[in-house]
Amino acid sequence: MPLPPIDSPTWNSTLRTFGWGMRSVTATVLAAVLFATYLGIGALAHDSHFSLAWTLLSTILVWAGPAQIIVITTLGSGASVVQSAIAVTMSAVRLFPMVVSVLPLMRTPQTKRRQLILPAHFTAVTLWVECHRFLPQVPREKRIAFVNGLGCGLLCISLSANLIGFFLAANLSQTLGSAILLLTPLAFLFSTARNSKGLADVLALVLGLVLYPLASLMSSGLDILVSGVVAGTIAFGVHKWREGR
Amino acid sequence: MSEVLGDFVGDWHALVMLVLAGAIPNQIWRMLGVWLGGGLNEGSDLLLWVKAVATAILAGVIAQILVEPPGALATVPAVLRYGALVAGFATFLLMRRSILAGVVCGEVVMLAGKWWLG
């Protein structure tokens, strides 16, 4: 479904612009990936003994798949609040450059800072990619409304997927339940691999996968942080070393 | 009725943990992005290191789900869990990095394996 031309009077209405943003989620394959991801997160939260309200709130308040699976997996396996908070915050640093690079696309000289809070909240990899695709087709002064609509649309998809995943995990046979749980590692591995452009990213991914089982043998309770910091630092070191030669 | 509501909400302690361990440490970075704007160089070494550590933590969590699987996934034999990931990854690479193709292949391998093993 194509957007109306940029000089169309449709764009004069903020509400209709919001609607166009919301409807744009149907024009992206990433919405399917998002659905599968949040289906998995719903099932993962259920099988890690979190409530449905907890699951939906985690999607609304956190709105970042990696941070959500980190918080579910760490808290679910008995890590302390401080340990999960550190792991989550490390995973969330990437949101900072995303926000910094996406907000200028919708800012005008009249824009107030508080108007940017909601678009910043919705910023995660899916929205970030779609903003670069859609925003050039939207008049600048209407872009915030469009992004809020797009964000709400993506949130609706994710919440529905959470709800379905949670109930499927509760009611399906073990075979189908395990298939839904398997969605999370598969979807995250491939989307991270897809976003890994440089050597540092690829090495960090591979070493992170390999080092976690080793770190878990020590069962220090800090396994995920230890393997993450070690693998990430080695990857960064190799990258710098290669760059320096 | 109150039992249904109780099941829906769960325990309050877990919701507080969600805010402290999940929401705040995550949102800090978005809000910092709003306040500081363009003050940071995207190619800086610090950011590169943080990105590598973040990727490795996520990879660790992926490994954790496969090595110490929660709930129903624990009924799938380990060989099958790793096999599904490897087959999915091979498909992902062969199909020009299609996430959907990789996920579908991984799922098919796991389900077929489970059916075959009975």
CA distances from A204 to A80, B12, B48 (A): 25, 36, 11
**Nearest residue of B to residue A240 by CA position?**
B45
Alpha helices in A24-94 (DSSP H): 30-47, 52-61, 65-76, 81-92
Contact A93 B42 (CB under 8 A): no
Domain that includes residue B36, residue range: 1-40
How far is the alpha carbon of B16 from chain A, nearest alpha carbon, in Å? 10
- The pTM for the full model equals 0.83
Q: Which residues of A touch B107 (CB under 8 A)?
A: 179, 182-183, 186
3-state secondary structure of A172: coil
Shortest CB distance from A236 goes to which of B48, B62, B73?
B48
Q: Which residues of B touch A179 (CB under 8 A)?
A: 107, 110-111
Residue A166 neighbours by CB under 8 Å, 6+ apart = A42, A43, A45, A46, A52, A55
**A205 and B56 Cβ atoms separated by less than 8 Å:** yes
**Total tally of structural domains belonging to chain B:** 1
- Asked whether the predicted pLDDT for residue B1 surpasses 60, the reply is no
Among B61, B96, B105, which would you mutate to test the A interface (most chain A Cβ atoms within 10 Å of its Cβ)?
A: B61
Contact B88 A190 (CB under 8 A): yes
Q: Give me the mean pLDDT over the B58-87 stretch.
A: 90
Q: What is the pLDDT of residue A166?
A: 95
How far is the alpha carbon of A161 from chain B, nearest alpha carbon, in Å? 16
CA distance A47 to A43: 6
Q: Which residues of B touch A91 (CB under 8 A)?
A: 26, 54, 57-58
- Backbone CA torsion sign across A155, A180, A45, A97: negative
Contact B21 A84 (CB under 8 A): yes
- Backbone CA torsion sign across B93, B95, B100, B103: negative
Q: What is the pLDDT of residue B107?
A: 95
CA distance A70 to A89: 10
In a domain, B5, yes or no: yes
In a domain, B83, yes or no: no
Q: What is the pLDDT of residue A138?
A: 94
**A179 and A165 Cβ atoms separated by less than 8 Å:** no
In a domain, B31, yes or no: yes
**Per-residue pLDDT of chain A in tens (245 residues, 90 and over written 9):** 678 998 898 899 999 999 999 999 987 777 888 898 899 999 999 999 999 999 999 999 999 988 998 999 999 988 889 999 999 998 888 788 788 878 888 888 888 889 999 999 999 988 887 887 899 999 999 999 999 999 999 999 999 999 999 999 998 888 888 898 898 899 889 988 887 878 888 999 999 999 998 988 876 667 888 898 999 999 999 999 998 88
Q: What is the pLDDT of residue B45?
A: 82
CA distance A69 to A92: 12
**B42 and A198 Cβ atoms separated by less than 8 Å:** no
In a domain, B49, yes or no: no
- What would the two tokens of residue B45 be? 């070494």
Crossing angle, helix A174-195 and helix B45-67, to 10 degrees?
160
The torsion angle over the Cα atoms of residues B81, B82, B85 and B89, rounded to 10 degrees, is: -160
Shortest CB distance from A204 goes to which of B55, B81, B115?
B55
Average pLDDT value for chain B: 88
**A212 and B63 Cβ atoms separated by less than 8 Å:** yes
Q: What is the pLDDT of residue B88?
A: 97
- Please provide the distance, in angstroms rounded to a whole number, between the alpha carbons at the two ends of chain A: 50
Q: What is the pLDDT of residue A161?
A: 97
Q: Whose CA is closest to B61, among A166, A145, A64?
A: A64
Q: What is the pLDDT of residue A152?
A: 97
Residue A124: half-sphere exposure toward Cβ, Cα within 13 Å: 27
Q: Which residues of B touch A113 (CB under 8 A)?
A: 34-35
In a domain, B36, yes or no: yes
Among A162, A181, A184, A190, which would you mutate to test the B interface (most chain B Cβ atoms within 10 Å of its Cβ)?
A: A190
Q: Tell whether A187 lies on the interface with B, counting CB pairs under 8 A.
A: yes
Q: Which residues of A touch B20 (CB under 8 A)?
A: 81, 85
Shortest CB distance from A97 goes to which of B40, B67, B72?
B40
Residue A45 neighbours by CB under 8 Å, 6+ apart = A54, A55, A58, A72, A162, A166
Tokens 């630092």 sit at which residue? A233
Q: What is the pLDDT of residue A192?
A: 84
Type of residue found at A12: N
How far is the alpha carbon of A9 from chain B, nearest alpha carbon, in Å? 31
Q: Give me the mean pLDDT over the B68-84 stretch.
A: 90
